[in-house]
Structure 1
Amino acid sequence: MSLSKTPSAPEIIRAPEPATLPTIGPKMARSPLRRTINIAKPHLRKHRMLMGGGVVALLFEVIFRVLEPWPVKFVVDAISRSLGAELAGTGPLATEGLLLACGVGLLVIIGMRALCNYLATVAFALAGSRVATELRGRVFEHVQSLSTRYHSSSRTGDTIQRLVGDVGRLQEVAVSAGLPLIANCITLVVMGGVMFWLDPLLALVVVVACASFLLLSRLSTGKITVAARRTRKGEGSLANTAQESLGAIRVVQTYGLEKTLSDRFGSSNQKTLKDGVQSRRLAAALERRTDVIVGVATAVVLAGGGWRVVQGAMTPGDLVLFLMYLKTSMKPLRDLAKYTGRIARATASGERVADLLDERVDIVDAPDAVSLGKAWGDVEFRDMTAAYGDGAPVLKNLNLSLVGGRTTAIVGPSGSGKSTLVSLMVRMMDPVSGSAHVDGLDLRTVKLESLRSNISLVLQDAVLFTGTIRENIRYGRADASDEEVERAAMLANAHTFIAGFADGYDTLVGERGGTLSGGQRQRITIARALLRDAPVVILDEVTTGLDQESRSEVLAGLATLTEGRTTITITHEASVALTHDRVVWLQDGRVLLDGSPAELMEHQVFASWVRQQQAADEAHLAEKSAGGAG
C-alpha cells in the first residue's frame, strides 16, 4: 500500500489558449454577409453545373422579360397611325394580321418567360436544398468533434437551434430571396440600358431612383441585421428553456415548477417578439419608402414622357414601352427592399452558424498519430495536471499506473477529479501538463478512433437512443449479427426482461430510454459494452440510484463485462470498491491512498468511510425488514 499526504498545490504554468470568441480579430473584422457566404462557398462549388443551368435559365427569363412590352408598343403605334396620328418615324398600320401576330407573340414570350423562371427556380431550389443538407451535416459533425471544453459550457437548445433553424433559414432565403434578387438585378441593368436607348433624359429618373434606394438600404440594412441577430439569439434562449424544462419534466411537475418556468419562457418569448417586431418594422419602413421613390419616379416619367410625345420626340408606343419598362425595373427596387429584410435576417442566422463552425476543435489526431491496434490495457498517468478551460486544476501532478487485466476502484469525495480521469482516458480532453498512456503510448500520439475502439464506457446516466432495443445494443458494434446482439444481452442479464416485451428486441424505447426502468437501461448499456468487446472498461457510478434487485442484476452483468479486462470503476459505494483488486483514493486532485482493499482498511480515512456506509446499509435493511413485518 502506498500512502501520501496532500502536498501544497504547485504553481502551474499554462500556455494561453486562444479565446473561443475573440472581441477583436479576423472573425469579427469580416462582415456578417461575407462570413455567411464563406461558410456556404465550399458546398456551392460541388453544384456548379446545376447552378450554371439555373443562371442560364435566369438570363433567358430576363431576355423574355425585356421583350415582353414590345408587342404592346407595336400595337399602340399601329393603332395610332391607323387613327391618323402623325408619329415620329414610320411603321405599319393596324391590320388583323399584325394585331394577331402581336397577340401570339406576346403569348409566346410570356410562356417562355414562365418556363425559364420555372427551370431557374427548380435548379436553385435543388442547389439550395443540397447545400443546406451538406452544411447541416458539416455543422453536426463539427459539433460532435468538439471536446468537453465546449460541451460543458454550451447550451444544447441553442446549438440545436443553430443546427436546424439557422441553417434552414439560410436555405429558405437562398431560394426565396437570392434567386429573385439575382434576376431583378440583371433585369434592372438590362432594362436601364434599353431605357437609355429609348430616351436618355427620362432614363436619368431611373438612375436617381436607384441611387435613392441604395442610400436608404445602406442606412437600414445594418439596423435590420442587428435586430435580427437579437431575435435569433432570443429564439436560441427559448429553445434552451424548452429543452431543459421538457428534459426534466418529472422534476418540474414534482416540484411544481410549471409556473416558474412558464414565466421564464414567457419573459424570453416577449423579448424575442419585441426584437422580431422591430426587425420587421425596419424592413417594412424600407419597403414603404421605396414605394414612395417608385411613385415619384413614375409620376415624373408620366408627365415628362407625355410632354415628349406632344413634342414629337417619341411615339405613344415608346411612352407605353418606357412606362412598362419603368414598372418592371421599379419592381426590382420593391423586391430588393422586401428581400433586404430577409437577407439581413438570414445573415444573422449565417453569423450564428459561422460562430459555431469557428469553435476550435482541440482534440484531433496528431499528424504522425499511430493506430493502437488491440490494446492489452496497461494505463498510466504521468505527472498529469488537468483543468477545464482557465479554471483551477482538477488533477494536480497525478502519477498513477494501472496494470492491464485488473480491476481498480477510484473513490474519494466529490470534486476530487474522478470523472476527469474518465474524460482523459477517452480523450474528451487533454491534460494541461503531463501525459496519459495506454500500453506505453501517449494518448496524443494515438489515433482517436483506434483509442476509443479499445474502450467501453458505462455511465451512471445510462444513455439510450430513440429506436429499438436491438439497435441500441448494436451501437456497440455496428456489424454485429442478431445472434451476437442477443448473446450480449444474455451475458448482461437483460435477455429475460427484453423477451418479456411484446416486440422483444424490436421494442421501441423512448427518448433517452424513458420507457424503461433504471436497471433495465443499465443492463442494455452493459450489453452494448459487451458487444464492443473492448480490453479497457470504464464504469462511472453505474449502480448509483438503483434499487437492490436492479443493483444485483446490474452487478451480475458487470461481472461478466469486466472479466479479464482492465476495469476502472468510479464509485461512491464502499461495497462496490471492496470487490476490486485495487482501490485508489483521490482527494484534492491527488492520490491520497493506493492499495488493495485489505491494505486500505488499515488506514483510518478509508476504514471510517467503509464502516459508515456499512452502518447505513444495515440500518436501511433493518428499517425495510421492520416495515415488511408491520
Structure 2
Amino acid sequence: SGRQALGVEYDMRNQLYSHLLRLSFGFYDRHQTGQLMSRATVDLQGVRFFLGYGLIFFFQHVITLVGVTAVMFWYDWRLALIALAITPVLIGLAYRYSHISHPLMRDVQQKMADVATVAEENIVGVHVVKSFAQEPQEQAKFDRRSEALFRQSVNANRQRAFYVPLISFIPLVAQAIVLLIGGRMVVHGQMSLGHFIAFNLMLAMLVMPLRMLGMWIGQAQRATASGERIFQVMDEPEEVTDKPDAVELPPGEGLVRFEQVSFAYVPGRPVLEDIDLDIDAGRTIALIGHTGSGKTTLASLVPRFYDVSAGRLTIDGVDVRDLELDGLRSEIGVISQDPFLFSETVRENIAFGVPDATDEEVEHAARLAQAHEFIDKLPDRYDTMIGERGITLSGGQRQRIAIARALIVDPRILILDDATASVDATTEAHIRLGLREAMKGRTTIIIAHRLSTIALADEMVVLERGRVVARGAHDELIGTSTVYAEIYEHGLLEHELIEQVEAAAS
C-alpha cells in the first residue's frame, strides 16, 4: 500500500510538473508561484497519505463489515438487525460531517497556500524587503496569514472533535442494546451462553471499523480537497499548443508579417488593435512608444507566447499557429529586460538552449555578448557556479550572459526587450558592438527607450495605445511623429554620451 501510494504521488508530481511546463504565459499571469508550489508539495502529500493509509483501512474495514455481518445474521438474525439498527443514524452523521468538513478542509489547504505564497515572495524579494526596512511589516503580513490558517484549522478541528467522537459513540450504543437484549435471551433460555459470547465477539469486530468511520471521513475530505486543488491545475487547458497537423518551420530568412493583428489579455480590453506590419528578412526594427503602448506584447506574439485574438502572424509565409512550437521557438532568440539565470555554471546557463554546445561555441557566444572578459576573471571561469537567479553577478553581467544564451542558438529572429536597460553606458557600448555583429543577417526586433539602442535599428515603428502610428527612419519621424520627437528629445543627451563611450571602446 505504501509503495503504491508513493508511486501514485510520484506519477502525479511528474504529470503536474509536465503540465505546468506546457501551460502558456497567460496561466502564469493569473496564478501566484506560492499557490502552485503548495499544490505540488503539500496537496500531493495529503493525497499520498490518504492513499497509503486511508484506502487500505477502508477496504479492510469493508471486507470485515461484510463478512462479520453475514456471520451475525447466520448466528441470530434478530440480534443482527438490532446491531444494524444504528446504520441510518451513522449514515446521516457521516453525510453531515462530510458535507461540513469538505469546504473547511478546502479552505485550510488554500490558507496553507497563502502562507507559502507570502514566504516565497519574501524569500525571493529579500533584498527589496531589507532595502526598505520592511521586515516588521512583512512579518506582520505573514502573521496575519498564519493566524487565518490557525483559525480555519481550529474550526476544522472543532468539527472533527464533535463528529468523530459522536460517530464513534453510536456503535457502542448498538453494542449496549445487544448486550441487554441478548442477556435477557440467555436468562430466558432463548440463547445459549456460548452462542451469546460468540455473537458479542463478532459484534466487537463490527464495532471497531464503525468507530473508525469518523476519522476516515476526515482524512478522505482532506485528501479530496487537496485532489481538487491539484486537478484544478491539471485540468487547466493549454491555451497555446501544437495543432494536430502542425508543421515544422520551413527554411527561410526570417520574414515576419502582422496582418490585422489584435490582442487582448482580458476579453474586451484590447492591448493591440489592427496591427499591419511587415519586417523584411534580415532587417532590424525598433519598437518605440510610451510605457503601456504594447511594444513588449507585440514582440511576445512572434515566438507565440500568446495567440493573437484576431488576424494572423506569419513567419516566412506560415501562420505561427500552424507551426510546431519547439521548432518555432528554437529559431527565435529572446533577451528580456530582467534576465533569469539558473543555479548552474556559467557554461550551462549560456548553453541552455543548446545543451550539447562545444566549449568553443560557448566562448564564441560569450565574446559576441562582450561577456568573455568578465567570465575569464571569475574563480572557475566558465565552470563558476551562479547563485540563485544569478544573484552573485551584477545586473550588467547577468544581461550579457542572457545575450550569449540567446546568440548561441543561432536564431533566425532576435528579440531584444530593453536588453541594455540594466547596464551602464560603458557596458552598453561594449554590448552594442557585439550586437552589431550578432544582428547581421538576422531579423531583429528591438524594444528600447534609449536612443543609443534605437540607433541599432534600420527603421523605427512607433506604437501608441496599441496601434502603429508611424514608421520610418529618424529623418522622417522627427518631423511627423510627436511621440518619436518626444522620446528623441529626452534621450538626445544620453545618446551623445553613449556614442562617445562607444568610440572609445572600439
1:378 to 252, 255, 261: 255
Aligned to 1:477, the other structure's residue is in SS state coil
Listed one character per residue, the Cα deviations across residues 409-441 of structure 1 (whole Å, up to 9, x for unaligned) are: 111111111011122111121222111110011
Q: Which of 488, 492, 496 in structure 2 is aligned with 1:610? A: 488
One of 386, 392, 408 as aligned partner of 1:515: 392
Structure 2: distance between partners of 1:370 and 1:620: 44
**More divergent stretch after superposition (359-368 vs 568-577):** 359-368
Give 1:280 shift: 2.0
Aligned positions of 1:328-367 closer than 5 A: 328-367=205-244
Deviates more, 1:485-494 or 1:449-458: 485-494
In structure 2, the residue corresponding to 1:457 is in which secondary structure? strand
Aligned partners of 2:83 and 2:178 also within 8 Å: no
How many residues are aligned here?
Answer: 499
The alpha carbon displacement at 1:491 in A equals 3.1
Deviations 1:346-381 (A, max 9, x none): 111111122222322221222332111444200010
CA distance in 2, matches of 1:617, 1:451: 35
1:499 CA displacement: 3.2
Q: Which moved more, 1:498-507 or 1:441-450?
A: 498-507
Which secondary structure does the structure 2 equivalent of 1:380 belong to?
A: strand
Tell me the SS of whatever aligns to 1:288.
helix
Residue aligning to 2:306: 429
Aligned match of 1:394: 271
- Contact 1:416/1:589 (<8 A) preserved: yes
CA distance 1:316–1:240, change in 2 (3 Å): same
Q: Deviations over 1:509-546 (max 9, x none)?
A: 22211121111111211221122111111110111132
State the distance in 1 between where 2:411 and 2:282 align.
Answer: 12
TM-score, length of structure 1 as denominator length: 0.75
Q: Structure 1 residues 617 and 453 mapped into 2: Cα distance closer, same or farther (>3 Å)? A: closer
Q: SS of 1:467's equivalent?
A: coil
Paired position in structure 1 for 2:341: 464
Once residues 355 and 608 of structure 1 are traced to their aligned partners in structure 2, the CA distance between those partners, rounded to angstroms, is 47
Q: Deviations over 1:243-300 (max 9, x none)?
A: 2222222221222222222222222221121111211221232210022213222322
Provide the residue aligned with 1:43 in structure 2. Answer: none
Q: Distance in 2 between matches of 1:252 and 1:615?
A: 34
Aligned residue identity for 1:612:
H
Question: Which one-letter code corresponds to 1:378 in the other structure?
Answer: L
Counterpart amino acid of residue 614 in structure 1: L
- Is the CA contact (8 Å cut-off) linking 1:519 and 1:554 kept in structure 2? no
Give yes or no for the alignment of 1:567 onto 2:444. Answer: yes
Q: CA 1:548–1:616 in structure 2 vs 1: closer, same or farther (change >3 Å)?
A: closer
Q: Which moved more, 1:550-559 or 1:374-383?
A: 550-559
Alignment of 1:4-403 (within 5 A): 124-403=1-280
SS in 2 for 1:292: helix
Give the residue type in structure 2 aligned to 1:236: A
Maintained 8 Å contact 1:279/1:341: no
Superposition map of 1:399-410 within 5 A: 399-410=276-287
Contact 1:468-1:506 at 8 Å conserved across structures: yes
Contact 2:425–2:498 at 8 Å: present in 1 too?
A: no
Tell me how far apart the structure 2 counterparts of residues 479 and 317 of structure 1 sit (CA, whole Å).
80
Instruction: Report if aligned partners of 2:452, 2:498 keep a CA contact under 8 Å in 1.
Output: no
The Cα shift of 1:334 comes to 2.1
Deviations 1:377-423 (A, max 9, x none): 00010111111122421111111100111211111111111011122
Aligned to 1:353, the other structure's residue is in SS state helix
State the distance in 1 between where 2:328 and 2:130 align.
42
How far apart, CA to CA, are the structure 1 residues paired with 2:239 and 2:68?
Answer: 53
Give distance in 2, aligned partners of 1:310 and 1:524: 92
Could you tell which deviates more after superposition, 255-264 or 531-540? 255-264
Q: 2:374 aligns with which of 471, 485, 497?
A: 497
Q: Return closer, same or farther for 1:508/1:323 CA change in 2, 3 Å cut-off.
A: farther
Partner of 1:116: none
Q: Which runs of 5+ in 1 are unaligned?
A: 1-123, 623-630
What amino acid sits opposite 1:343 in the alignment? A
C-alpha change, 1:544 and 1:288, in structure 2 (3 Å) is: same
Identify if the C-alpha distance between structure 1 residues 577 and 619 changes in structure 2 by more than 3 Å, giving closer, same or farther: closer
Give the CA deviation at 1:604. Answer: 5.8
The answer to whether the 8 A contact 1:149-1:389 is kept is: no
Mapped partners of 1:284, 1:296: distance in 2: 19
**Residue 492 of structure 1 contacts residue 560 of structure 1 at CA under 8 Å; is this kept in 2?**
no
Distance change >3 Å, CA 369–CA 179, structure 1 → 2: same
In structure 1, distance between residues paired with 2:319 and 2:82: 73
Q: Distance in 2 between matches of 1:579 and 1:621?
A: 12
Q: Is contact 1:374-1:454 (8 Å) kept?
A: no
CA distance in 2, matches of 1:167, 1:161: 9
**Matched residue, 1:106:** none
The one-letter amino acid paired with 2:98 is: T
Distance in 1 between residues matched to 2:474 and 2:231, nearest whole Å: 52
Q: 2 CA distance for matches of 1:144 and 1:164?
A: 16
Change (3 A) 1:487 1:330: farther
The answer (yes or no) to whether the contact 2:104–2:155 under 8 Å persists in 1 is yes
Q: Please state whether the residue corresponding to 1:243 is helix, strand or coil.
A: helix
Letter in 1 for 2:211: R
**How far, CA to CA, are the matches of 1:504 and 1:325 in structure 2?**
75
Corresponding residue of 1:63: none
Coordinate RMSD, CA, aligned:
2.3
SS at structure 2 position matched to 1:415: coil
Shift of 1:313: 4.8
Larger Rg: 1
Partner letter of residue 410 of structure 1? L
Q: 1:509 to 1:334 in 2, by over 3 A?
A: farther
> Which structure 2 residue ranges, 5 or more long, are not aligned?
501-506
Contact persistence 2:168–2:213 (CA under 8 A): no
Task: Give the aligned residue type for 2:487.
Answer: W
2:458 to 569, 578, 581: 581
- Secondary structure of the structure 2 residue equivalent to 1:425: coil
CA contact (8 A) 1:132 1:168 kept: yes
Structure 2 matches for 1:584-595, cutoff 5 A?
Answer: 584-595=461-472
Between 366-375 and 392-401, the greater mean CA deviation after superposition: 366-375
The percent of aligned pairs where both chains have the same amino acid is 36
Match of 2:327 among 437, 450, 458: 450
